[in-house]
Amino acid sequence: MSATHPAFAFRSWVRTAGVPYSILAAKASLDELVPELKGLLQIQNHQPNLPLTGKLSNLQGVPAVKFKDNPWSVVYWSIGRAPLLQDDCRTLSGKLGTQAIHLTEKDTSGWVEWFLYQEREELEASQWMQHDDSVYFRSLLRRQVKFKQSKPAEIRAALDRAVDDLLSEQGIEIPGLDLDLAAANVERVDLLTLPEFPLGMKEFQTWIYQGQPEYAIFAVKAPIEQVGQILMERSHAKEWRQRIQSDQDIWAVLSQDNAYWIPMLQPTANPWTVVYWMCGDWVDIADLCQEVSSTLQTRVITLAEEDTSGAVGYEIYAQGKEIEAAGGCPGEEFCFESEIREEPEFDNFDEEEDETINQFIHETFIEEGVYIPCWDLKVSDPYLERVDLLLLSNTGH
């Protein structure tokens, strides 16, 4: 593998540590960048202008660094996890009116992915097609890089060279966490604090957008034991596997046999049970969710999307009664009905309709305290307290 370019010294550091990562950089000051991050992502606290002493790795939280004589600010969003921030990066570039880049390695295999945007327009992106160990690359900045190498190690080396060249050309510097904060090129360091456990639906939606974004899922504010029991009775499920134990991710566990398994997840320190009733297709789950809400005398929230029309929406039930519903298709009227709050007023709704709707739904899930995990989490992930499976059919999806 080729030597790491100095601009991406972070890569050498993180690969030595053997952990995945997800980081952002924007061509903006921290005073411009951090407020927009707060509007997009879950940030509990912000400490600006930290004393420039010690190492970057000593900071407990998410460091955001601005370097002298360089227009870019770097945010070390996640070390040890690799949430996909592609859509957030695009939105960020539009809100700031500048360039933003997201780089991530989902595991320790050495496959790096990146997305560079200029005011929402994609300038360059490279994604790993995991199903066949290939690379999807597109760029408006340079000739298409060909990844024709047959061996994964050769492809990874070519990816490293490609991202090194991009960072160098754009003047982006991403030091490792062994950076001395007293170094002459460090202008300012801020520290962001994130919740211990995430909330919202954005993580799941971003993940499913990599494939067919068509699904009908719901969450019930009740223990998984109660939810599983009523679904066994209501759906006539053939089997209920409880407390799945595996070092694989959720998707891999579901793909082990040709059967229609419905995952039920109990996120850690969260009162909601998430049920992935249908992924890869859309079905009407209103009656089912209303019945579950009525039987358990609790809240149920749905989330559904239809690929052909682009329709996305949710309903909230309380003790069997629908108390809020919202949704719509791109280019059509956004419908909102609620017994618990006023209809929202959206900023830039016409210009950024899809993003605005999705962000509103995401924030609604946060307010309800719901977390919808994506399926590339490992079953043993600390974010998951329990994973169960319901078998509806012996025939696969």
Q: What is the pLDDT of residues 63-105, one digit of tens each?
A: 999 999 999 999 999 999 999 999 999 999 999 999 999 999 9
pLDDT band for position 350 (cuts 50, 70, 90)? low
pLDDT band for position 160 (cuts 50, 70, 90)? very high
Cβ distance 90 to 117 under 8 Å?
yes
More confident residue, 97 or 256: 97
| Model confidence at 218: pLDDT above 50 | yes
Mean pLDDT within 288-298: 98
pLDDT in tens, 161-217: 999 999 999 999 999 999 999 999 999 999 999 999 999 999 999 999 988 899 999
Q: What is the pLDDT of residue 308?
A: 84
Mean pLDDT within 146-174: 88
Q: What is the pLDDT of residue 3?
A: 43
| Model confidence at 260: pLDDT above 90 | no
Backbone angles phi, psi at 21, to 5 degrees: -160, 165
Mean pLDDT within 211-231: 96
| Model confidence at 397: pLDDT above 60 | no
| CA-to-CA separations, 132 to 129, 136, 150, in angstroms, rounded | 6, 11, 11
Q: What is the pLDDT of residue 340?
A: 96
Task: Enter the pTM of the model.
Answer: 0.90
Which percentage of the chain shows pLDDT scores above 90? 78
Nearest to 290 by CA among 389, 338, 218, 223: 218
| Helices 286-296 + 224-235 axis angle, to 10 | 130
Q: What is the pLDDT of residue 148?
A: 67
Q: What is the pLDDT of residue 283?
A: 93
| CA-to-CA separations, 3 to 14, 23, 24, 169, 175, in angstroms, rounded | 14, 21, 22, 17, 15
Q: What is the pLDDT of residue 364?
A: 97
Tokens coding 176:
């490792």
| Model confidence at 1: pLDDT above 60 | no
Backbone angles phi, psi at 12, to 5 degrees: -60, -40
Mean pLDDT within 24-46: 97
| Model confidence at 5: pLDDT above 60 | no
Nearest to 263 by CA among 389, 114, 172, 179: 389
Spell out the domains of the chain, with CATH numbers in brackets: 6-193 (3.30.70.1270), 202-393 (no CATH)
CA-only gyration radius of the chain, Å:
22
Least confident of 1-15, 40-54, 378-392: 1-15
CA distance 328 to 280: 19
